[in-house]
Amino acid sequence: DTEVTQTPKHLVMGMTNKKSLKCEQHMGHRAMYWYKQKAKKPPELMFVYSYEKLSINESVPSRFSPECPNSSLLNLHLHALQPEDSALYLCATSTRGKNSPLHFGNGTRLTVT
C-alpha cells in the first residue's frame, strides 16, 4: 500500500466543470509534487511545494491551480480543461535536500470530455 493517498482514483469532467484532485500524506515529508503522465510516457513535473510554499511551477497553464493548505495535504484545482489534459495525475512527496527520493501515490486518472 502506498503511503501517499490520492482521491479520486478516476474522474471524468466536462470542459466547463470545476473539480479538484486531492493528495494526502502522513510521512512528515515537507516537499510535495504534482506530475502529469500520459500513457506509456514518463511523468512530467508540474508543481513543487516546499514547506507549503510553491517553489516550482513548470510553466503550467492557469487552468491548473495548486494549493497546499497544510503539510499533509496537496490539492490541484481544475477549471476549463481541454480534452488533451486527460492523463494520469500523480502526487509525490519527499524530504528536502540530499538523499530524498520521491514517493508516488497511485494517481488520479482524469478524462476530460
Partner 1 sequence: GQQLNQSPQSMFIQEGEDVSMNCTSSSIFNTWLWYKQDPGEGPVLLIALYKAGELTSNGRLTAQFGITRKDSFLNISASIPSDVGIYFCAGQWSGGGADGLTFGKGTHLIIQP
- Residues found near partner 1 in the complex (CB under 8 A): 2, 4, 6, 30-31, 33, 35, 40-45, 48-50, 55-56, 58, 90, 92, 94, 96-107, 109
Of 48 and 112, nearer to partner 1 (C-beta) is 48
Backbone phi, psi, residue 83, to 5°: -55, -30
What minimum distance in Å lies between the beta carbon of 101 and partner 1?
5
What minimum distance in Å lies between the beta carbon of 3 and partner 1?
11
Let me know: does 64 contact 57? Beta carbons within 8 Å. no
Closest by CA to 29, choosing from 105, 83, 80, is 105
Dump strand ranges (E) for the chain: 4-7, 10-13, 18-25, 31-37, 44-50, 53-57, 64-70, 73-79, 87-94, 103-104, 108-112
Of 83 and 101, nearer to partner 1 (C-beta) is 101
What minimum distance in Å lies between the beta carbon of 19 and partner 1?
20
Of 18 and 51, nearer to partner 1 (C-beta) is 51
What minimum distance in Å lies between the beta carbon of 16 and partner 1?
28
